[in-house]
Amino acid sequence: MSQPTFYVSPEQQIKDRAEFARSGIAKGRSVIVVRYENGILFIGENRSKSLHKFAEIYDRIGFAAVGKYNEFENLRIAGIRHADVRGYAYDRHDVTGRMLAGAYTQLLGMIFSAVMEKPYEVELIISEVGNQAEGDQIFRVNFDGSITEESEYSVIGGAADLIGTALQDTYVPQMSLAESFKVCLAALAADPRGRDVDVDALEVAVLDRTRTQTRKFQRLETHEIRELIEAKPRKAQAKKTDDDSMQ
């Protein structure tokens, strides 16, 4: 006796695949990528010291991801290889964040539309730091290959909507690194599943345009994160200077 066949409309297939990917991504902790005065800051909760959510792709280009680790790690490695080949074959300046974001868009879109393949449960942010603040770029790439260019910051994974709303209320362009860090840390607390996040549970990195090295990506160590937490606001420092001058 032959098995009955069931028809599923293309619209329903796309809806089911999107729901599957979103549910997987929502299980992870959110990460924030935000512009500050000297570059781009990456911050998120990550209790693993070896399985990173943030990485360097090329000289001025950083990578942030949430979702299935094995899937976004494969994407990270593919991005590095793609950038290396293009930089070697042409010129290092031909490797741009826009180019890499476009490559990820094509790859994820192809995987999502392939009926016989499981969609990737990942969201990515590709960012590039420019020589000047006007040259900074942040691209958000979704599991289905859709892409969005963000002007100042982007939040992915977990409670991204709630954290994005909290960040919108407190973010000010061209803040210092310490100020941006504290604003982002407060925004992460908007996650309803939230728990007190200590310094050891944070992963923090920057693309710092002021670094003299060609490679601008730097992962911050625990003591550097503590220094950001303890740093005084610039306005308070300026006021203290004015008071001292009057004595």
Tokens of 141: 């790439």
1 occurs within a structural domain: no
97 occurs within a structural domain: yes
Task: Please tell me the predicted confidence (pLDDT) of residue 115.
Answer: 79
pTM for the whole structure: 0.89
Angle at which helices 69-89 and 97-113 cross, to 10°:
130
Which pLDDT tens digits describe the chain residue by residue (247 residues)?
A: 566 666 778 888 899 999 999 999 998 899 999 999 999 999 999 988 899 999 999 999 999 999 999 999 999 999 999 999 999 999 999 999 999 999 999 999 999 998 788 999 999 999 999 999 999 999 999 999 999 999 999 999 988 999 999 999 999 999 999 999 999 999 998 888 766 677 888 999 999 999 999 999 999 999 999 999 998 876 644 444 444 444 4
- The 3-state DSSP class for residue 72 equals helix
13 occurs within a structural domain: no
- Say how far apart CA 38 and CA 128 lie, in whole Å: 12
Please identify which residue in the block is written with the tokens 């910051």: 153
Task: Please tell me the predicted confidence (pLDDT) of residue 200.
Answer: 86
Q: 53 is in which domain, residue-wise?
A: 25-246
Please identify which residue in the block is written with the tokens 């991005």: 79
11 occurs within a structural domain: no
Give the H or E element holding residue 39.
strand 39-45
CATH number at residue 163: 3.60.20.10
6 occurs within a structural domain: no
132 occurs within a structural domain: yes
3 occurs within a structural domain: no
- Sheet of 147-150, strand order: 54-58, 61-67, 122-128, 137-141, 147-150
- Say how far apart CA 54 and CA 44 lie, in whole Å: 9
196 occurs within a structural domain: yes
| Structural domains of the chain, count | 1
